[in-house]
Every structure is written in structure tokens, then in C-alpha cells.
């Protein structure tokens, strides 16, 4: 597949690496010049500098042949514009995925035709509503200390974790599986829950153990 990713922050950077490692053709767009230069040193020509909200840049990126366009900038308005432009000006059948930073905007994204939205805030809120055990929620406070992070891992049919129960996984140290986005559902990942293909697994882990977690899932 050919995939365009708008936003070269942590999410866009990691997503680009993962998809490229799987053999996909990926172009990453970043508008901050300093960040672009940093990324291009590692990724070369697969990174473009400019504003993904501009028609000319999307054209240069090959949006007319993209299978998937992912907008993961820190600005909801930009993410929405990128997805709308993809559908209206380039290729309507392309799948669009947008990061939603403010959960209040999620309904607007859906109403305006964005195929899929991802909101970490919504996931955490759903966990709280499910009254998850305190020992699972407690580590979230460690995020402010800089060593812990919430990561998202998409499972394919060939993923090692598919079909396994959470309690049977040999997770890296200091790692907790929080929930899985399964279609329109948020599935709390307690011990007896089995992972399924196409799950978007949300986990809490250390920066050092993120790669181990992705490899084992």
C-alpha cells in the first residue's frame, strides 16, 4: 500500500517506521523545518517539508494514488482539512484516518466523512467509566514523569498476540495493556480477554520497552 502521514511528531514518526518495516511505501509530511531536517537525516526522501493542508504539497506527495492518508498533527483543524482534501480533491476511495486531540470534535470528524478517528482521551475515559481496578489506573500518573508513555499497536492476522489471552502474554517489565479498540467498541484488556486481528491495542509502557512490546504482539 501507499500511505501518506501528515505530522512528524512522535505518533507520525513511529507510525512511519512501523509501516515501512512492514514493506509499505510511506511518505511523511512535516511542516516544522527543524523537525523536518531531523527526520530527513534518518528517513531521507520519504519525508517532505511543508504544510499538508496545501493542495500542491499533497499533489507532490502523490495523494492521487494513496491508499491511506493518516493525519496525526497536534491540530484537529489541520487533521480534518487533510482528510477532507484527500476525499474531495484527490481520491475519494482512499481511507482517511485522523487523530482527534479534543474528543468534542470526534462527532464532527465523523459527520464530515473521515473514515476513522483515534482519540486516546476517549479510550481513557471509557476505562474510567468501566471502573477499572485502581492498580491498572495508577500507572497513568507516571506519564508526567517522562519515563512512561501510552502507545498504540495495531494487530494484523499474522500478529503473534492474536488469539492469546492477556494473562498468557509474556509482557515486558513495567508494561500494562489497557484496552483495545475493536471496531466501534472499547474492550478492556483484563486477564481472560483474547486479542483479535485488527485490534488497536492501547498500552502503557516505558520508552525502553516499547519496541519489545511491539515485537511480541
H-helix or E-strand containing 77? helix 76-85
Question: Which of 102, 118, 134 delimits the end of a domain?
Answer: 118
Identify the pLDDT of residue 124.
60
pTM: 0.61
Does one domain contain both 108 and 28? yes
Does one domain contain both 126 and 114? no
Per-position b or e across 75-96, b if 16+ CB within 10 A of its CB: ebebbbbbbbbbbeebeeebbb
Does one domain contain both 32 and 128? no
Does one domain contain both 131 and 197? yes
68-72, 107-111, 148-152 — most confident range: 68-72
Task: Write out the residue range of the structural domain in which residue 79 sits.
Answer: 2-118
Kindly tell me the sign of the dihedral angle through the C-alpha atoms of 53, 54, 57, 61: positive
pLDDT in tens, 54-75: 999 999 999 999 999 999 998 9
Mean pLDDT over 161-173 rounds to 90
Identify the pLDDT of residue 191.
85
Alpha-carbon radius of gyration of the chain: 18
pLDDT in tens, 13-58: 888 888 888 889 999 999 999 999 999 999 999 999 999 999 999 9
Amino acid at each position: 500500500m501507499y500511505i501518506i502521514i501528515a505530522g512528524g511528531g512522535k505518533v507520525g514518526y513511529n507510525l512511519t517506521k512501523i509501516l515501512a518495516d512492514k514493506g509499505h511505501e510511506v511518505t511523511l509530511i512535516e511542516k516544522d523545518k527543524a523537525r523536518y531536517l531531523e527526520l530527513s537525516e534518518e528517513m531521507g526522501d520519504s519525508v517532505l517539508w511543508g504544510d499538508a493542508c496545501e493542495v500542491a504539497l499533497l499533489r507532490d506527495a502523490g495523494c492521487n494514488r494513496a491508499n491511506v492518508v493518516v493525519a496525526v498533527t497536534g491540530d484537529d483543524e489541520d487533521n480534518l482539512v487533510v482528510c477532507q482534501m484527500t476525499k474531495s480533491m484527490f481520491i475519494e476511495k482512499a481511507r482517511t484516518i485522523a487523530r482527534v486531540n479534543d474528543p468534542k470534535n470526534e462527532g464532527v470528524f465523523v459527520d464530515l466523512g473521515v473514515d476513522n478517528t483515534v482519540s486516546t482521551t476517549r479510550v481513557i475515559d471509557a476505562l474510567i467509566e468501566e471502573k477499572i481496578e485502581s492498580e491498572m489506573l495508577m500507572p497513568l500518573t507516571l506519564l508526567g514523569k517522562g519515563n512512561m508513555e501510552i502507545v498504540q499497536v495495531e494487530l494484523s492476522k499474522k500478529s503473534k498476540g492474536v488469539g492469546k489471552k492477556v494473562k498468557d502474554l509474556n509482557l515486558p517489565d513495567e508494561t500494562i495493556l489497557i484496552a483495545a479498540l475493536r471496531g466501534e467498541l472499547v474492550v478492556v484488556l483484563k486477564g481472560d480477554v483474547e486479542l483479535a486481528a485488527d485490534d488497536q491495542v492501547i498500552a502503557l509502557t516505558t520508552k525502553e520497552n516499547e519496541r519489545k512490546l511491539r515485537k511480541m504482539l
